[in-house]
Amino acid sequence: MVNMSIQSAGSVHLDAIVDVHTQARTAYYRAGRLPQAEVDDPGGPMRRREGWARCMEADEKTVLCALHEETVVGVMAMGPPLRPETDAATVGELYQIHVLPGHWGRGIGGRLHAAFVQFLRATQLRTGQVEAWEQNHRAQAFYARHGWKPDGYSRPGPGHSRYVRMRLRAPAV
C-alpha cells in the first residue's frame, strides 16, 4: 500500500488503536460465529484501552502502528513471552496484530509482521510465539503463510473454542 508508514505508537494513537482492535476482533469473532452477546462485551473497550496503555508504557514491550494518510489502519504489539514458563532468552511473543477490516488484504498485516521478524533478528531470538482463537481461520492462514506452525499447545478460549499457540522459527539473517 502506498503512503503507509509503520511507526512507534504513542498516547496520541491510543483511541484509534483501541478502535482498530475492537473492529478487528468484532470481525473475526463474527466470522467465527461467536454469539453476539459475547462479541459485544460492554466493558471491553475500556479494558483494551488500559491494556494498550500499559503495553506502551512497558520498557520491554513495543507497540507499532501502521498509518495511512494519518489514520491508524493497523497495530501490533510484541515483546518477551507473557507466561513465565516460556524461555525469554529464545522466544519473542507477538501479543497482538490487527488491521482495520476495510483495509485487509493490502499488505498492512504483512508489513507489521515483517517488523516482528525484524525484532526477533535484532534481539537474536530464535523463536516467535503467538496465540490465535481456534475459529479465527484467516489469522491462522496468515500466520501459516508466513511460516508459523501450531506447536500443539492450546488453552480454553471464547465460545467453547480454544486459543491455539503457533511458533515461528526466526529466518536466518
Binding site for ligand COA (CB under 6 A): 1, 24, 27-28, 97-99, 104-110, 132, 136, 138-139, 142, 145
DSSP character string of 91-117: EEEEEEEEE-GGGTTSSHHHHHHHHHH
110 vs 147, which CB is nearer to ligand COA? 110
Q: How far is the CB of 141 from ligand COA (least distance, A)?
A: 6
Q: How far is the CB of 162 from ligand COA (least distance, A)?
A: 13
Burial category of 109 from C-beta neighbours within 10 Å (exposed 0-12, middle 13-18, buried 19 and up): buried
78 vs 139, which CB is nearer to ligand COA? 139
Whole-number Å distance between alpha carbons of 100 and 66: 10
C-alpha triplet 129, 32, 115: angle, nearest 5°:
30
90 vs 107, which CB is nearer to ligand COA? 107
Q: Helices H, strands E: what count in the chain? A: 5, 7
95 vs 120, which CB is nearer to ligand COA? 95
Q: How far is the CB of 111 from ligand COA (least distance, A)?
A: 7
Q: How far is the CB of 136 from ligand COA (least distance, A)?
A: 5
